[in-house]
Amino acid sequence: MLRLEKRPTPSQFWLYATPVVAVLLTMIAGGILFGLLGKNPVAVIKTIFWDPIFGEFAFYLRGQLLVKAGPLILIAIGLSLGFRAGIWNIGAEGQYIMGAICGAGVALALYPTESRLVFPLAILAGALGGWAWAMIPAILKTRFNTNEILVSLMLVYVAETILAKASTGFLRNPEGAGFPGSRSFSTFKAASNPELIAGSGLHWGGVAALATGVAAYVLLSRHILGFQIKLAGQAPRAARFHGVNPEKLVLLCMGLSGALAGLAGLFEVTGPAGKISIDFNVGYGFTAIIVAFLGRLNPLGIVLAGFLMALTYVGGEMAATNMGLPSAAIQVFQGMLLFFLLGVDVLTNYRIRSAFMGAR
């Protein structure tokens, strides 16, 4: 009989080893899944994890990696701050959509102004849109003690309805012959978010993601606020004695994660997506939750995790087009990764002891 014994302090080795073990286990379980779907498991795993970086079309796919990793990292870093403090914003998808709508709305209102200020204004509006959408659950939590998980999630469905209204109604391209979708940003130079270095996939969103990663690292390791966030999560009582105001922390963490999700939405809609359309959002807000945990809620870890998750997106698309792998299989694969991650994490805090062998 195996039993668990709590470690006096979390194991430093397993803290860093668990994500690696989880990824390996997911590859094995995913391989079995792909095998059951009638595909060659080794070939699929290679297509997902190897080909985008070293394969035949890597010159193009490497750029795609950054395109997908940017929004994931941006959102996940925001979420990780809240998760650390025990504040669960899981409505990032809604904040992402609202950021995109607000930012794009401001930019499109200024069409066809060719001023340098249009794009910065749109960025500001995008961040504000996401921030405002996240403030709803935050204020309801601080004022009425409402569960932020449920409220932020409900607001995702509301945001999706507003997006449908935006793309068929108030943001629809007036010259689009009645088709849904806004004016394309590729024809609106002042507000577009192009690739900065050709072929790299780097746009302003990627720059923002990497900068946010560094900023969050500094915040958490060097700033009093980062200390308070960590303290509130690990020892809420001690945090109150330390003078941490829990309500302020909720407003701050929710607001920050909302603003970052809004930014991600704006960069996506003005860049890779190109316009507001009814389904421009592809669930980054939810996948970012996995990224945040995979990165162990650590900014630098999240940057790495973001690239790994981008790999499953890009490689998954490759596997879908080349080998006919259903795209839902990738979603299952990503979900499994989170399962394994949470499961393996037991080794960080507990030792496994065998009752037969006695204490070693």
Partner 1 sequence: MDFGGINPVILIASLMVAAVPIMLAALGELVVEKAGVLNLGVEGMMIVGAICGFITAVHTGSPVMGFLGGAVGGAALSLVFAFLTQVLLANQVATGLALTLFGLGFASLMGQGYNGIKPPPTLSVPMGPLADIPVLGPILFDHDWMVYMSIALVALVWWVLKATRLGLIIRAVGESHDAAHALGYKVNRIRLGCIAFGGAMAGLGGAYISLVRVPQWVDGITAGAGWIALAIVVFASWRPWRVLIGAYLFGGITVLQLNLQAAGSAIPVEYLSMSPYLITILVLVIMSSGRGRAALNAPASLGQNFHAAR
Interacting residues with partner 1 (CB under 8 A): 4, 6, 88, 90, 140, 143-147, 149-151, 153-155, 157-158, 161-162, 164-165, 169, 286-287, 289-290, 293, 326, 328-336, 338-339, 342-343, 345-346, 349-350
Closer of 12 and 145 to partner 1 (Cβ): 145
Does residue 121 contact residue 107 with C-beta atoms inside 8 Å?
Answer: yes
- Residue closer to partner 1 (CB basis): 215 or 336: 336
- Nearest approach, Cβ of 115 to partner 1 (angstroms)? 32
CB of 28 to partner 1, least distance (A): 16
How far is it, in rounded angstroms, from Cα 304 to Cα 51? 18
Least distance CB 133 / partner 1 (angstroms): 13
Least Å from the CB of residue 307 to partner 1: 19
Q: In 99-166, which ranges are E strands?
A: none
Of 96 and 267, nearer to partner 1 (C-beta) is: 96
Alpha carbons 48 and 316: distance in angstroms, whole number: 6
Could you tell me the smallest distance in angstroms from the CB atom of residue 198 to partner 1? Answer: 34
Tell me 244's DSSP state: -
What's the rounded Cα separation, in Å, for the pair 215 and 209? 10
Kindly state the DSSP code that residue 275 receives in the 8-state scheme. Answer: S
Please tell me what DSSP assigns to residue 38.
T
Q: Which of 236, 338, 353, 232 is nearest to 290 (CA)?
A: 338
Tell me the two tokens of residue 209: 């993601």
267 or 286: whose CB is closer to partner 1? 286
Q: Minimum distance between the CB of residue 62 and partner 1, rounded to whole angstroms?
A: 26
Which residue number, 63 or 233, has a Cβ lying nearer to partner 1?
Answer: 233
Q: In the complex with partner 1, which residue's Cβ is closer, 47 or 287?
A: 287
Q: CA-CA distances (angstroms) from residue 11 to 15, 337, 348? A: 6, 21, 5
